[in-house]
Amino acid sequence: MLPESIPTVTVRGRFLSPDGRPLSGSVTFRAPAQITFPDADVILGGPVVAQLDAQGQISATLPATNAPDMDPAGWSYTVAEQLVGIPAGRSYNVLLPAEQPLVDLADIAPTDPSKPNYIPVVGPEGPRGPAGASAYEVAVAGGFSGAPADWLASLVGPRGATGSTGTQGVQGVPGKDGKDGAPGTPGAPGLVQSVNGKSAAAITLTAGDVGALATTAAGAANGVATLGTDGKVPTGQLPTSSGGGAVASVNGKTGTVVLAAADVGAIATSAAGAAGGVATLDTSGKVPAAQLPAAGGGAVTSVNGFTGAVVLAAADVGAATTAHTHTAAQVGALATSARGGANGVAPLDAASDVPLANLPDLAIPASFAPADLGLKAWAFDPVTALSTTAFTGNASLRFTAVVLRQTTSVSKIVFQLGGYAGTMNAGSWAAIYDSAGARKGATADMAGEAVIPGVHNAGGAAVTAALTSSASLPAGLYYIAYVFRYSASDGPMLLQLENGAGAPPNVFGPSNVKRFGVYTATVPTTPPASITLANIDNGANRFWAGLT
């Protein structure tokens, strides 16, 4: 902050683009290089840079250009506008007298090229002077001796006669616009306002003004070293101890010095391979046998007290003379003879199952299993089904649940058809889903009779629909889904369980597993990647299906 004894002027300004957007950049106010205020004991120097804020405004408080006791006096500020997007910024000079403490650049900046370069700021209106003498008093002072009324009458002459009415003139035709004048001579280029902070008319810069060393400092005391024609510092500019002079001594010796290995703390080459010296290395990087001590450098003289061509027996090295055999019991194992034997362990067959011969009699069911009929899983024993088959319904999606007790590879879905004479349409398919509703395998589209051929024999027949690829299914619950689309009413008729109740319950037990059901949502024309199990509802039929 400037001392209060220095009068100041606050300069403001706002810069906008033609569409009203705030401009960015800076406005620099540059005074003479240094201004001295003796009364305030202050020396001011350097430019004042005002950055435009977010509204495009600047404000700078500067010493007045007519401040008293200021050295130098009679100078002006150079204003340089550097605005983003305006390549050629304006530069002009202004006077900022203390009588106008607040100034806006919009009022003083020379937007008109005809205005002078120096723009003074108009000061405030001065005090009103004393009233002057009236005209009558001036007339009396000039020799008039009459009363004021006589003086006024003397100012007005007698009224003359009324003149005749003149003829109204005709208005002339406006002339044509003149031609544009020739372009004016280009203005003089801008002038340098200051150099390195100096604003004098004739500026002389020294090496110190540009942060350099004078040429007289080259090779001089407290200056800089020069380089000779060889690109090196001359010996005369090197200190005495830097190697520029002759060697005074070597390892403390003077004169014609000859150093031995011991003088530099080394071992003489004559000590290599000599007694009391050092060992040498051969071409393979090893110490020659001749330089090894007798205990390690010669041939073996004895082994375990034996000499000559020594052959050691087990007893010579403290080892047992015969091999030791352990029994299975000694190592906590079962003998191989226990495999499949009484009180032993059960073997596994090629399918990793315990053979029937190793199962107790009660574990072997006497009834038929799916494997007995060439199947791997089924919904129920088909012999318990009704002899009357039923239609699944055109485009109706049906579900039949099956259970696998171990990991099983399946490649086909099996249906027991009571009869089928029509041809299925596109959009007929079958698939397998796990207990989470994820698809595990599916058939190709069953249009025509390529997948499910017609059945015309009495009693029906088992028909298989191949999956597009085999599926390895871990043990668990699975749903066989199938939909038949046909134009006639004689689509496939499937084997079914008793359904005398019309819509029998198909959920048994607290697990809420639906063994049979029909899909209540929209039926897709291709097997979806997943199904929503909640959309499976009880159906009026319990159709049989199996896997193989």
Mean pLDDT, range 437-466, rounded to an integer: 91
Provide the 3-class DSSP secondary structure of residue 534: helix
73 residue type, one letter: A
Mean pLDDT, range 196-200, rounded to an integer: 61
Please report the domains of the chain, with CATH numbers, ordered by start residue: 8-119 (2.60.40.3390), 370-547 (2.60.120)
d(CA 399, CA 532): 12
Q: What is the mean pLDDT of the chain?
A: 83
Distances in whole angstroms, Cα of residue 394 to Cα of each of 124, 425, 519: 105, 10, 13
Helices of type H across 397-479: none
Residue 509 pLDDT grade (very low, low, confident, very high; cuts 50, 70, 90): confident
Structure-model confidence comparison of residues 307 and 174, the more confident one? 307
What is the phi-psi region of residue 207: left when phi exceeds 0, alpha when psi lies from -120 to 50, beta otherwise?
A: alpha
Structure-model confidence comparison of residues 77 and 237, the more confident one? 77
The predicted pLDDT at position 217 comes to: 78
The predicted pLDDT at position 173 comes to: 56
Structure-model confidence comparison of residues 65 and 329, the more confident one? 65
Residue 453 pLDDT grade (very low, low, confident, very high; cuts 50, 70, 90): confident
Which letter, b or e, does each residue of 379-411 get, where b requires 16 or more Cβ atoms within 10 Å of its Cβ?
bbebeebeeebbbbeeebbbbbbbebeeebebe
First to last CA, the chain: 99
Mean pLDDT, range 470-488, rounded to an integer: 93
For residues 119 and 94, the answer to whether their CB atoms sit within 8 Å is: yes
Mean pLDDT, range 292-305, rounded to an integer: 70
The predicted pLDDT at position 101 comes to: 95
The predicted pLDDT at position 132 comes to: 67
Closest CA to 48 of 65, 26, 74, 68: 26
For 424, other C-beta atoms within 10 Å of its C-beta total 23
d(CA 495, CA 381): 11
Where do we find the tokens 């435009």?
Answer: 52
Six-digit token pair at 521? 């949502």
The predicted pLDDT at position 154 comes to: 65
Six-digit token pair at 250? 């070597």
For residues 57 and 104, the answer to whether their CB atoms sit within 8 Å is: no
The predicted pLDDT at position 191 comes to: 47
For 517, other C-beta atoms within 10 Å of its C-beta total 23
The predicted pLDDT at position 137 comes to: 74
Mean pLDDT, range 275-281, rounded to an integer: 85
Residue 100 has pLDDT above 60, yes or no: yes
Q: What is the tens place of the pLDDT at every residue in 132-171?
A: 666 667 777 777 777 776 656 666 556 666 666 555 544 4
Six-digit token pair at 232? 């090196």
The predicted pLDDT at position 165 comes to: 55
The residues, ordered by sequence, that sit 6+ positions from 75 with a Cβ below 8 Å of its Cβ are 31, 32, 65
Structure-model confidence comparison of residues 355 and 495, the more confident one? 495
Structure-model confidence comparison of residues 295 and 190, the more confident one? 295
pTM of the model: 0.40
d(CA 117, CA 76): 11
Q: What is the tens place of the pLDDT at every residue in 407-443?
A: 999 999 999 998 888 788 999 999 999 999 999 999 9
Give the containing element (helix H, strand E) for 155.
helix 148-155
Mean pLDDT, range 433-462, rounded to an integer: 91
Residue 479 has pLDDT above 90, yes or no: yes
Residue 12 has pLDDT above 50, yes or no: yes
Residue 545 pLDDT grade (very low, low, confident, very high; cuts 50, 70, 90): very high
DSSP track, 163-191: PPPPPPPPPPPPPPPPPPPPPPPPPPPPP
The predicted pLDDT at position 444 comes to: 95
The predicted pLDDT at position 163 comes to: 60
For residues 544 and 495, the answer to whether their CB atoms sit within 8 Å is: yes
Whole-number percent of the chain with pLDDT over 70:
81
Residue 284 has pLDDT above 80, yes or no: yes
Residue 125 has pLDDT above 70, yes or no: no
The predicted pLDDT at position 213 comes to: 75
Six-digit token pair at 509? 């037990």
Residue 340 has pLDDT above 90, yes or no: no
Identify the weakest region by mean pLDDT among 75-89, 99-113, 188-202, 498-512: 188-202
Residue 121 has pLDDT above 50, yes or no: yes
Residue 380 has pLDDT above 70, yes or no: yes
For residues 467 and 478, the answer to whether their CB atoms sit within 8 Å is: no
The predicted pLDDT at position 185 comes to: 53
Structure-model confidence comparison of residues 247 and 106, the more confident one? 106
Whole-number percent of the chain with pLDDT over 90:
37
Residue 522 pLDDT grade (very low, low, confident, very high; cuts 50, 70, 90): very high
Mean pLDDT, range 522-543, rounded to an integer: 93
Q: What is the tens place of the pLDDT at every residue in 231-266?
A: 888 887 887 655 555 677 888 888 888 888 888 888
The predicted pLDDT at position 151 comes to: 59
The predicted pLDDT at position 209 comes to: 76
